Structure 1
Amino acid sequence: MPDTLSFRASLIGFALVVLATFQIAAGPALAQSPFSAVRKVGDRVITEYDVAQRITFLEVLNAGAADIRAEAIGRLTEEAVQREHARRLGVRITPDELAEGMAEFASRAQLETDAFVAELEEAGIARETFQSFVEAGLLWRKIVGPELGPTVNVTATDIARARDVAAIRGTKLVLISEIFLPADPQFAEPVAQIIGLIENASSIEEFAAIAREYSLAGSRDSGGRLDWVPLEQLPGQIGGLIGSAVPGQIIGPVELSGAIAFFQLRAVDSTRNIPAAQVKLTYKRLLLPGGRSPETLASYADIRARVQHCNGLDPYAAGLPDGYITDHEALMQSIPQSDAVELARLDRFEMSANTVEGGNMVVLMLCARELEQDPRPTSLQIENSLFNARLGERAQLRLDELIADTMIVDY
């Protein structure tokens, strides 16, 4: 039998999940005890003994509450409301269901029920407290499943979005502005003058004014300002330069396909971390003849207005030579820099066309940005995870409503 410390450690992971998802709380098994009352919830009384038991239980589970007494009373209050709601609905837990629930909980600590209970008793927690803890959770699950389950819907789009890098983990975020200038030889002289203006810009506002006046990028109307971009989504060269820059610093010129780019770092938010070598992009690449001619720009505007999904880009390749529309799936680090710079700032199903290749405008559309994982979670696993998370959120809202409608008196 493991010692108390190792036993407690083995409970941390699964116990917190149970507490957070189902708000399982110890029951009023001792509501008729002679000890002093702490709180009355409807017709149920929470005693000092109940609170002391719950505090010890939370300590064993290493719940880490800032105010553990308040946490214990809160959990017991939720349990009392859950039990009363179950009573009104006629929901009950059979002895076999209770035994199975206790065994399942104990098995997560790799113990049989009796061994698990023995460890709890050694820590000062009565068997009845554990039984009530499990019973409350089983009652609540029996209620929220039929009552709220049909209202939860997880779509294929939800699953796809859950695979996005931003949804899987956090990262270091950067707030940048951009200016794209033509690399065509006939524009060399005016572009050189604009580059001089950019390099001498002394503020974020001045950089924005230049972007509005001269940038070819679609962001020109907003002064080149982009929303937050995860740093690891940027290609290596650009990501390295921006990652080592300070707010206000201008990065460039950067030679891209048919364009010269400048970037300015506006702010940094270091909240997350993703290994760049594991970021995989799936995207479409469409070449539109005519470069930046008015006709090609009009065609691109029409595409942006009409296409909502990657498959919707295919019809616009009709009549074009083979290879003018291509599908790509590759780790971000292996994508050509000109494409990587564009794709870095796109969300799923967004598109961009700031570069030119062989006289053709390059239209890029991001289909997916995922983190390569081993093992890769299945769609069913993601669906179940999303379903349980949404069901848990709705269950908590329902519980909060029930608590608000319950008469609660503190002593």
Structure 2
Amino acid sequence: MLRAEFGRKAHRAMMLVTLGAQSLVAVPVHAQAVPDDRLEAPSASLDLPKDLTMFGKSDPNVRKATAIVNGAVITQTDVEQRLALVVLANGGKVPEEELERLRLQVLRNLIDETLQIQEAAAKDIKISPAELDQSYARVAQNFRQTPEQFTKYLAEHGSSAASIRRQIEGESAWSRVLRSQVQPFVNVAEEEVRAVMKRLEQSKGQDEFRVSEIYLPASPENRAQVEANARQIIQQIQQGGSFQAYARQYSEASTAAVGGDLGWVRLGVLPDELSAAATQMQVGQIAGPIALPGGFSILLLVDKRQVLTADPRDSILSLKQLSIAFPAGTTQAQAQQKASTFADATRGIQGCGTVNDVGKSIGAEVVENDGIKVRDLPPQLQNLLLGMQVGQATPPFGSVTEGVRVLVLCGRDDPQDASAPSFDQIMSQMEEERVNKRARTYLRDLRRDAVIDYN
């Protein structure tokens, strides 16, 4: 188990797409004609008229609509299949009391998605089936599955390929709408870019933060309820829920589509309330709900570094690991005794050249790992290894269930100072921020003008 865990990144991106659904269309089954003589007996016993006229219509294959958006139907099946994706993204760990709140949010997302697809169609923008197939195959590949295997996997968990394909269609179509209707009208002057570059040079060495957010808008009337919802979201994330999945479902910020990721920012560009919270946070910590004018934010501090300065945690290490496992039934006292013997044997390691011999003498497994970045190791080991010299070993660490191990530092390549982003990179980022801001206004106007019938 240790061999599998060692060298695995501590922070892995959630690859599951958690938005999108497609209405299901029922195909009627036409019955074959039945000879009249086979109808005579039931007709006589039930006194049924020979010439039937149906005054009502009932089709068990038709799903009841949850909402009709400008004539487009969103069914309960669509909502449930989308909800199943959200549950999957959270490892299947969503309490019952949370599901109803998620259903409402999923419906809102489906409405926005429908409006985006409709707007794209109005602008003669369509995503071809071939493009959808390619994108769906890439999502399946993230799960190391073929499209066919992934489709079966989704069905087994209450969702469908149609749900993800609908999301892909919505995001792709909306992206093209923005490129054609918004981006051409966004301008960034060269003077603005050069001013940013100058500020970057002046801020060299200052702290920079990689943060993710979930922004929940609130009015004076519903502020208390929104704050309570934010606290529930935080509780679910702390219990193992995916921050990225909740950001996609709940956040009203433009970063929702990327799981709330704000990228690397300096405190000066954040609202004062968020800056104050970020300075008090440790990497991996969640803060909130943070009151802002117009709503609340939930922050996740993903990482921290200094502007244009080499980060020691980007050092690349070459390591050797010695480990021993404890037999089933080992008590804490027995484990402590074996760990002490293991520590005595590894304390005398003098360079990586002796690791294999030491491991053989005490029956320890030796694993070599090159190209390990410090920041990808558990936080408890990062500072420890950064303070070690080549050839030194860490103190033993582990547990009764997972055994005990030691890491020996065999080499370290220190990073160079980070270079400033280029003129084109800064301009591209500024343009993207302005496009996202206009996109929010665009979608708000689509909501305002839409005809939506709720059921």
Please state which band the TM-score falls in when normalised by the shorter chain.
0.3 to 0.5
Which TM-score applies when normalising by structure 1? 0.43
